[in-house]
């Protein structure tokens, strides 16, 4: 056998061994890829309106206001192999990130999924509040118990879903009011919570204990602000989690509640968290979301200001990036876009 043939044989064997090792070696990384994108003005996979409004006049819409998602492979329950990670690093539409970026070491995959589900629910509620805030439609808030800490005074007395209406006889309508009123108590003091459960008002006298820092008085309840809307808004998107669709939900609700189509038939996609006051926040996976949007047909992409720098570096051809700081600003930018005006905030 010639030296060349021997070298080729040895090299082939080494490549084969590396392939076997690479396909068997699991690595603690996650591959992020472009996920599905859905038109908030359209229907879900069951053929039902993705956003339905009852009890208020709505108007015809057209075009697209798509929210975007990211899918992933890997994680503690099914890690990717070394070759998959290497292919992802070389691929233009995939990001390979450390596993703990998606799955913190102190949380189980189930807990992460639950958090993502909760984040989506909060995002929908914030989107509804932001849209109504933009339209100057009054919205009231209520304080609801999200969780009970085991072994704390509230354990066995209060339940998840109870609505807190007063503390020490003083009406409360926000979490900050409850936290502020509780903070006025010394550790070991007693306080009285008035709450409703199943439509019935009840009271609970609880003795406060120290929080983990040992500095604040608490009773062991996790609270969230929820909103009472003057009409019903249903958002049905299926098994999708996370808070990043908030901006697009708000825009779709605004579009349905105001005369004339917001997009004028254009295909606009985007991403961004939303606060009840209409502030747009950053998200993860901006590159994958832009790719998904462009593949779906979008020509404009609403981008949170804090994501603009990264987005500008990876912008797909044919996709115009529009900076979105607030819901109000996003509406103004879309109006300028559809009118053919040039003064549109851009990502640079």
Catalytic residue among 289, 295, 341, 348: 289
Q: Is the pLDDT of residue 81 over 90?
A: no
Query: Range with the lowest mean pLDDT among 14-23, 82-91, 216-225, 283-292?
Result: 14-23
Q: Is the pLDDT of residue 17 over 50?
A: no
pLDDT computed for residue 185 by the predictor: 95
In percent, the amount of the chain with pLDDT more than 90 equals 66
Angle at 160 between CA 244 and CA 147, to 5 degrees: 60
Catalytic residue among 38, 123, 244, 250: 244
Nearest to 39 by CA among 221, 298, 311: 298
Burial class (CB in 10 A: 0-12, 13-18, 19+), 348: exposed
Could you give the CA distance from residue 310 to residue 69 in angstroms, rounded to a whole number? 17
Per-residue pLDDT averaged across 205-209, rounded?
Answer: 95
Per-residue pLDDT averaged across 140-156, rounded?
Answer: 93
The answer to whether the predicted template modeling score (pTM) of the entire model surpasses 0.85 is no
Domain limits of the chain? 29-134+231-338, 140-228
Could you give the CA distance from residue 286 to residue 149 in angstroms, rounded to a whole number? 36
Residue whose entry in the numeric block shows the structure tokens 């992020």:
32
Note if 136 is an active site residue: no
Could you give the CA distance from residue 170 to residue 296 in angstroms, rounded to a whole number? 52
Could you give the CA distance from residue 341 to residue 274 in angstroms, rounded to a whole number? 26
Query: Could you tell me the two tokens for 330?
Result: 């996003």
Could you give the CA distance from residue 302 to residue 298 in angstroms, rounded to a whole number? 11
* End-to-end Cα distance, the chain: 61
* CATH for 29-134+231-338 (3.10.50, 3.30.230, 3.40.50, 2.60.120): 3.30.230
Could you give the CA distance from residue 310 to residue 46 in angstroms, rounded to a whole number? 35
List, in order, residues 6 or more apart from 226 with CB less than 8 Å away. 125, 141, 142, 143, 144
Q: Is the pLDDT of residue 5 over 70?
A: no
Could you give the CA distance from residue 292 to residue 288 in angstroms, rounded to a whole number? 6
Note if 38 is an active site residue: no
Burial class (CB in 10 A: 0-12, 13-18, 19+), 342: exposed
The CATH classification number of 140-228 equals 2.30.42.10
pLDDT band at 12 (very low <50, low <70, confident <90, very high): low
pLDDT computed for residue 344 by the predictor: 94
pLDDT digits (tens, 9 = 90+) for 44-77: 888 899 999 999 999 999 999 999 999 888 877 7
Could you give the CA distance from residue 308 to residue 290 in angstroms, rounded to a whole number? 12
**Partner residues linked to 193 by β-bridges:** 167, 204
Residues written for the chain: 348
Same fold, 29-134+231-338 and 140-228: no
pLDDT digits (tens, 9 = 90+) for 96-137: 888 887 778 777 777 777 888 888 888 999 999 999 999 999
Could you tell me if 208 and 218 are in contact, meaning their C-beta atoms sit under 8 angstroms apart? yes
pLDDT computed for residue 304 by the predictor: 97
How many Å is the maximal CA-CA distance in the chain? 95
């Amino acid at each position: 056998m010639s030296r060349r043939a021997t070298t080729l044989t040895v090299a082939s064997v080494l490549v084969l061994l590396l392939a076997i090792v690479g396909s068997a070696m699991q690595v603690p990384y996650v591959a992020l890829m472009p996920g599905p994108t859905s038109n908030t003005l359209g229907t879900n996979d069951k053929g039902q309106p993705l956003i339905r409004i009852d009890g208020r006049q709505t108007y015809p819409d057209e075009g697209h206001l798509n929210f975007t998602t990211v899918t992933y492979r890997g994680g503690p329950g099914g890690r990717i192999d070394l070759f998959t990670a290497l292919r992802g690093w070389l691929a233009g539409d995939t990001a390979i990130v450390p596993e703990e970026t998606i799955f913190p070491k102190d949380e189980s995959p189930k807990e992460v999924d639950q958090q993502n589900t909760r984040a989506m629910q909060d995002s929908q509620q914030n989107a509804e509040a932001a849209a109504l805030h933009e339209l100057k439609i009054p919205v009231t808030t209520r304080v609801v118990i999200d969780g009970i800490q085991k072994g704390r005074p509230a354990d066995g007395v209060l339940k998840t879903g109870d609505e807190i209406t007063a503390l020490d006889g003083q009406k409360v309508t926000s979490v900050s009011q409850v936290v502020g009123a509780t903070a006025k108590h010394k550790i070991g003091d007693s306080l009285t919570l008035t709450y409703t459960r199943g439509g019935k008002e009840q009271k609970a006298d609880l003795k406060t204990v120290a929080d983990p820092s040992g500095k604040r008085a608490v009773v062991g309840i996790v609270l969230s602000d929820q909103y009472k809307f003057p009409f019903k808004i249903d958002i049905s998107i299926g098994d999708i989690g996370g808070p990043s669709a908030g901006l697009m939900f708000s825009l779709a609700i605004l579009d349905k509640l105001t005369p004339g189509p917001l997009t004028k038939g254009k295909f606009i996609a985007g991403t961004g968290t939303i606060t009840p006051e209409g502030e747009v926040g950053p998200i993860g996976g901006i590159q994958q979301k832009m790719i998904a949007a462009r593949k779906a047909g979008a020509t404009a992409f609403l981008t949170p200001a804090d994501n603009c720098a990264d987005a500008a570096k990876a912008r797909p051809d044919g996709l115009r990036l529009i900076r979105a700081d607030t819901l109000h600003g996003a509406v103004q930018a879309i109006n300028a876009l559809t009118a053919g005006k040039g003064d549109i905030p851009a990502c640079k």
